[in-house]
Amino acid sequence: MNPLFAVRDLLRERRVATTGQLATELKLPREVVDDVLAHWQRRGLIESEIVETGGGCGIGSRSSCGGCNGCETVKTITADIPSISAYRWLGPH
Partner 1 sequence: MTQKSRLPGANRPEKTPVVAVAGNPNCGKTTLFNLLTGARQKVGNWPGVTVEYRSGVANIDGQRMSVVDLPGVYSLLGGGGADQDVARTYLVHGDADLVLNIVDASNLERHLAMTFELMQVGRPMVMVLNMVDEAEAMGLLPNPERLSEALGIPVVPMVARTGRGQAQLVEAITAALADPPVVHTHVFEPAIENPLRGLRAVMPGRTYAEKRFEALRLVEDVVDTETPEIAEALKNTREAIESLTGEDAADAVAGYRFGWAHDTARKGIGFRHKHRADNTMTERVDKIVLSDLLGVPIFLAVLYSVFVVSFSGGNIFLDFFDQTSATLLIDGVGHLLLSLGVPDWLTAITAGGIGGGLNLVFTFVPPIGLTFVFLALLEDSGYMARAAYAMDRLMRKMGLPGNALVPMIVGFGCNVPAIMGSRIIEDPRGRLLTVLMQPFMSCSARLTIYMAFAVVFFRENGGQVVFALYLLGIVVAFLTAFLIGRTAVKGEAMPFIMELPPYRLPSVRNVLLQAWQRLKVFLLRVGRVIAAIGLVLFILPGIGWTGNGIATTDIDHSLLAQGSRALAPLFAPMGVEPDNWPAVSGLIAGAAAKEIVIGTLNGIYQRQNSEDQMARYRDPDIVGQLYDALMTIPANTVAFLSTLGDPLGLQAMSSNESATQASGASNATLAAIAAGFTPLSAFAYLVFVLLYVPCASTMGALKREVGTGWMLFSITYGVGLGWGAATVIYQAGTFAEHPLASAGWIIAVLAALGLLIVTLRYYGNRQALRPRQHLVGEQP
What residues make contact with partner 1 under the rule CB under 8 A? 1-5, 8, 14-18, 20-21, 24, 27-29, 31-32, 35-36, 39, 42-43, 51-54, 58-60, 64-74, 76-79, 81, 84, 86
- Least distance CB 81 / partner 1 (angstroms): 6
Give the Cα separation of 55 and 70 in Å (integer): 11
User: In Å, what is the CA distance from 3 to each residue of 15, 22, 23, 34, 60?
Assistant: 17, 10, 10, 11, 41
- Least distance CB 47 / partner 1 (angstroms): 14
- Least distance CB 90 / partner 1 (angstroms): 14
- The strand order across the sheet containing 83-89 reads 16-18, 83-89, 46-52
